[in-house]
Amino acid sequence: MTKFSKKQIQAYRLVNGEHEGLSTADAAKRMSITIQALNRLLSRLKKLCPSLFPILTKQEAEVKVLLEFEWVNADMANKLQVSLSRISQIIGSVNEKRGTTGGRLVKMLRYEPWMDSKIVRKF
């Protein structure tokens, strides 16, 4: 059994919109590594646990939560201070990343901090 490295977990948390939601450049700067090194960490993590990917941006994560509470697009646009067309784009991106089957959303695993000690790779 192989656990994720602390660097992999840190990289995931920094770029995931459900946590800090930083750009890869900002996350790499925070970790004092290059963007290429950060992308390698995320790539290795994706191979170990593909269900954690794709990563949602901070805005996508916010819209996803609002969708779960059945907010309408106009209310989301007001809350996030963006246009209705931007909300539609974000919803499309969230649906694309989540995957759709016949118009129905596929359930997606969400990363939680308690998973750090539980996530292992089985052979």
- Asked if residue 112 belongs to a domain, the reply is no
Q: Are residues 48 and 64 in the same domain?
A: no
CATH number for the domain harbouring residue 22? 1.10.10
Task: Give the Cα separation of 33 and 17 in Å (integer).
Answer: 20
What per-residue confidence (pLDDT) applies to 121?
53
Cα gap 99→87, rounded to integer Å: 18
What is the number of domains present in the chain? 2
- 25 falls within a domain: yes
Q: Is the pLDDT of residue 28 over 80?
A: yes
In a domain, 28, yes or no: yes
- Higher pLDDT: 75 or 4? It is 75
Concatenating the DSSP letter of every residue in 51-75 gives GG-SPPPHHHHHHHHHHHTT--HHH
Residues 36 and 76 in one domain: no
Q: What is the CA radius of gyration of the chain?
A: 16
Instruction: Name the DSSP letter for residue 7.
Output: H
Residue 121 belongs to a domain: no
Tell me how far apart the alpha carbons of residues 42 and 105 are, in angstroms, rounded to a whole number. 25
The reply to whether 80 falls in a domain is: yes
Same domain as 48, residue 10: yes
Structural domain range at position 25: 2-52
Which residue reads 């593909």 in tokens? Answer: 50
One-letter amino acid at 85 equals S
The pLDDT of residue 33 is 96
At 33-88, the pLDDT tens digits run: 999 999 999 999 988 888 788 888 889 989 989 998 989 999 999 999 999 999 99
pLDDT digits (tens, 9 = 90+) for 84-122: 999 999 998 888 887 754 455 445 556 666 666 665 555
Choose among 73, 5, 16, 82: nearest CA to 41.
Answer: 5
For residues 68 and 18, the model is more confident at 68
- Shared domain for 47 and 62, answered yes or no, is no
CB-CB contact of 33 with 73 (8 Å): no
Has residue 22 been placed in a domain? yes
Query: Would 110 be classed as within a structural domain?
Result: no
| 63 and 98 together in one domain | yes
pLDDT at 111: 61
Closest C-alpha among 54, 57, 50 to residue 14:
57
Report pLDDT for 123: 43
Do 87 and 64 lie in one domain? The reply is: yes
Regarding whether 48 and 62 lie in a shared domain, the answer is no
What's the chain's length in residues?
Answer: 123
Task: Specify the pLDDT at position 52.
Answer: 82
